[in-house]
Amino acid sequence: MKVETVVRLPMADSGLQNSIVRLNNRNMDSTRKDRTRFFRREPLVIVNKADGSKVLRYAMGNSGLKICKNAIGLDYDAVDALNISFKQQVDLEVRRAKRWEIWHWYWKHPDQSVQLSIKLGFAGAALGVMGFLTGVIPLLIG
């Protein structure tokens, strides 16, 4: 989806704890059947075509905000990360996030507690696999 303008989200929708993007309801599908539109709470990547910067946000409807079909609502942190300004002409692309982009976003997340939890989970999974292999290899060898 091509985006031309960005509207500022209210404080209730802003911050790292929310990480949402508000879209016009015509771009949303609450039934999760129309793949040409976005689903609620679906991870989306917003890319600034001018410089390649991108952020990951979760899709939500417009919630009473005046957001036209080719506009989105973002918080200050997302606008800062994308190097754009509110209510200015922009050249953004919004698309579904790929699985590896979601993992990468959380690995490099600005909130240290989120970043630490994903890294500890990955380390725990790696140690679990190594422990499993340590127990199985002697049984296979004999």
Q: Are 72 and 46 in contact (CB under 8 A)?
A: yes
pLDDT digits (tens, 9 = 90+) for 78-133: 999 999 999 889 999 999 999 999 999 999 988 899 999 999 999 999 999 999 99
**Domain definitions of the chain by residue range:** 2-97, 111-142
pLDDT digits (tens, 9 = 90+) for 12-43: 888 777 889 999 999 999 888 888 999 999 99
- Give the CA count within 13 Å in the CB-facing half-sphere of 128: 6
How many other β-carbons are positioned within 10 Å of the β-carbon of residue 39?
17
pLDDT digits (tens, 9 = 90+) for 119-137: 999 999 999 999 999 999 9
Which residue in this structure is represented by tokens 């909130």? 111
pLDDT digits (tens, 9 = 90+) for 60-71: 998 788 888 999
Alpha helices in 3-111 (DSSP H): 76-82, 99-107
- pTM score, whole prediction: 0.84
**Topology classification of domain 2-97:** Barwin-like endoglucanases (2.40.40)
